[in-house]
Structure 1
Amino acid sequence: MRIGQTKSFLLPEQHWIHLLIFVITLITGALTDEDVIKALLGGSASFKFKVTTGMKVTLAVWKKCPDQKVFVFSPIHGLKIFDNNYADRLSIKSNHSILLDKLQESDFVTYCYELTTFPNGSLQGQNKLEKTTENGDVPIMIISVGCSIGLIVLCGIIAGVVCYKKRKSNTALNPGGPPGSQPSVRLKNKKRPNRIRSQNEEDVEIEDFNYLNMN
Structure 2
Amino acid sequence: MPEKIKYATLLEVKAAVRKLGIKNSRAYRLRWQEDPRLPANPYIDYASEWLSWYDLCGSERPIEKYLTLAEAREAVARLGIWTVAHYSTDHHKDPKLPGDLRFYPNFKGWPEFIGKSIYKDFYKTLSEASRAALALGINSYHQYTTLKRYKADPKLPANPSTIYPDWQNWKHFFGTNHLVPAYESYELASAAAISLGYPTFK
Whether the TM-score (by the shorter chain) exceeds 0.5 is no
Q: Which category describes the TM-score, using the shorter chain as reference length?
A: under 0.3
TM-score (normalizing by structure 1): 0.18
Higher RCO (CA-CA < 8 Å; seq separation 6+): 1
TM-score w.r.t. the length of structure 2 is: 0.19
